[in-house]
Amino acid sequence: MAAKRKTAGQRRREQLDAFRTRLIDIYSGACGREFVVGDEWASAEELRRIIPAVREVFGTCRAVDYVYRPHCLEHWDDPAKLAEWLFEAGFRADMVWEDDSDDAPA
């Protein structure tokens, strides 16, 4: 008997969970300590290190460069909330944007 295929919702949840875990690891590394999701928000000083770290890991392209701009800071205080927002913009745990690409998220 063949194994059941995962539904699109199950695959999406797994991808989002992997992305959330990767962002929490980046937050922890940028903060220099374990970042506890739900118990704290990133401070302005921590965001100064977190945002460039995320940009370095995932890269950027013109289609998604807006996520790193100051008008989007409201999404960056919590990695779980950020994961959902960036996931909808096309980010994934195992991807890197090409710097000069005009490619829109797939």
pLDDT digits (tens, 9 = 90+) for 73-106: 999 999 999 999 999 998 999 888 776 545 545 4
pLDDT in tens, 38-64: 888 999 999 999 999 999 999 888 888
Asked if the structure places residue 102 within a domain, the reply is no
As a whole number of angstroms, the distance between CA 37 and CA 48 comes to 18
Asked if the structure places residue 96 within a domain, the reply is no
Name the domain count of the chain.
Answer: 1
Asked if the structure places residue 79 within a domain, the reply is yes
Asked if the structure places residue 19 within a domain, the reply is yes
Where residue 4 falls among pLDDT bands split at 50, 70, 90? confident
Asked if the structure places residue 32 within a domain, the reply is yes
Asked if the structure places residue 42 within a domain, the reply is yes
Tokens at 72, concatenated: 């989007």
Asked if the structure places residue 101 within a domain, the reply is no
Identify the bridge partners of residue 40 per DSSP, sorted by sequence position: 37
Domain range spanning residue 63? 12-88
As a whole number of angstroms, the distance between CA 84 and CA 92 comes to 10
Residue 22: closest CA among 37, 41, 11, 44 = 37
